């Protein structure tokens, strides 16, 4: 009866109210009926909320009334801070948004932000992330020259960067937290304080707890493409990476996947992992490309 009254009252308002009110109520009614979950956007390295205005516009156009929050934390030069420090800050910003809804939230995390989101969810055992959408993120690491790398390490080439990154000092810079030199495997496993434990490449006290938290994700969307130009190899965005010969080994053949070290194999076996590979998109254009949004993101934001 209450539902019938609510519908009748809403119908009366839509019929009798001025046109602007009709629009407002239509948006409200659509968002209520469709049950759009809040969307949280986490930026990548050397950018911030301003770069995601187009993406927020796409979301509001296709899902009217959706609450979209682009977190303004550790942006621009602050994005170079160590990732565990950033995880602590983003976790405290994300937690209250999650707690405000019983239906869960969607996370869209770009580039380095994808690794931050994974760290947040690993250390937030009660999270309610429905969809985790990782937009061109170096999930298995980075090993390649790029404008970002040359900007901060102009005197290093990729084959020698491990001399700095695999030190205590180097691990205080975000890029080094996921620098994965396939020719320096032992040094990487010994020195990596972020990516190696996050991917279950080394055993640690939180392995089981982090795995359990990862498995709370309902849908994991992996987005990337061969023309990215920054993430190297680009397959890292879909959990592929180089072996010692710099031949890309796909996700399903990675050792940590086969061991199901952090739950990725389980999610994939349940059909919860979606790969969306799009050619012709440069790294800085993923979040403003409407084709990417329409084909890879939109359907998961309900």
Token reading at 72: 């303004």
Q: Are 221 and 274 contacting, i.e. CB atoms less than 8 angstroms apart?
A: yes
Only one residue has tokens 């999930």, namely 139
Output the DSSP codes for 59-118.
HHHHSTT--EEE--SS-GGGGGS-HHHHHHHHHHHHHHHHHT-SS-EEEEEETHHHHHHH
pLDDT in tens, 97-147: 999 999 999 999 999 999 999 999 999 999 999 999 999 999 999 998 765
Of 213, 238, 218, 236, the closest CA to residue 300 belongs to: 218
What pLDDT is stored for residue 4 in this prediction? 34
pLDDT in tens, 46-101: 999 999 999 999 999 999 999 999 999 999 999 999 999 999 999 999 999 999 99
List active site positions: 111, 228, 283
CATH topology of domain 39-300: Rossmann fold (3.40.50)
Q: Binning pLDDT at 50, 70 and 90, where does residue 157 land?
A: confident
Tell me: pLDDT of 16 over 50: no
Tell me: pLDDT of 211 over 90: yes
The residues, any chain, with a CB within 8 Å of residue 33's CB and separated by 6 or more, are none
Task: Give domain limits for the chain.
Answer: 39-300
């Amino acid at each position: 009866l209450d539902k019938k009254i609510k519908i009748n009252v809403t119908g009366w308002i839509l019929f009798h109210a001025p046109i602007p009110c009709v629009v407002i109520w239509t948006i409200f009614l659509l968002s209520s009926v469709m049950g759009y979950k809040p969307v949280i956007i986490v930026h990548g390295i050397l950018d911030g909320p301003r770069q995601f205005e187009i993406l927020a516009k796409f979301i509001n156009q296709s899902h009217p009334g959706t609450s979209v929050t682009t977190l303004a934390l550790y942006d621009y030069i602050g994005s170079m801070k160590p990732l565990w420090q950033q995880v602590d800050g983003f976790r405290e910003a994300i937690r209250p948004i999650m707690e405000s809804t019983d239906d869960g939230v969607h996370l869209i995390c770009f580039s380095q932000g994808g690794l931050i989101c994974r760290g947040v969810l690993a250390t937030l055992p009660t999270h309610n992330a429905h969809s985790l959408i990782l937009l061109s993120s170096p999930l298995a690491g980075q090993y390649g020259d790029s404008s970002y790398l040359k900007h901060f390490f102009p005197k290093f080439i990729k084959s020698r960067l491990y001399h700095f990154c695999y030190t205590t000092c180097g691990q205080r810079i975000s890029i080094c937290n996921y620098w994965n030199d396939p020719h320096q495997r032992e040094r990487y496993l010994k020195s990596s304080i972020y990516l190696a434990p996050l991917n279950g490449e080394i055993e640690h006290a939180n392995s089981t707890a982090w795995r359990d938290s990862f498995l709370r994700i309902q849908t994991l969307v992996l987005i990337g493409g061969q023309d990215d130009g920054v993430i190297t190899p680009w397959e890292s965005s879909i959990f592929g990476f180089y072996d010692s010969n710099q031949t890309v080994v796909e996700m399903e053949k990675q050792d940590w996947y086969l061991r199901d070290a952090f739950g990725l194999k389980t999610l994939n076996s349940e059909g919860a992992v979606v790969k969306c590979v799009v050619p012709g998109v440069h790294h800085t254009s993923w979040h403003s490309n409407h084709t990417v949004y329409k084909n890879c993101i939109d359907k998961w934001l309900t």
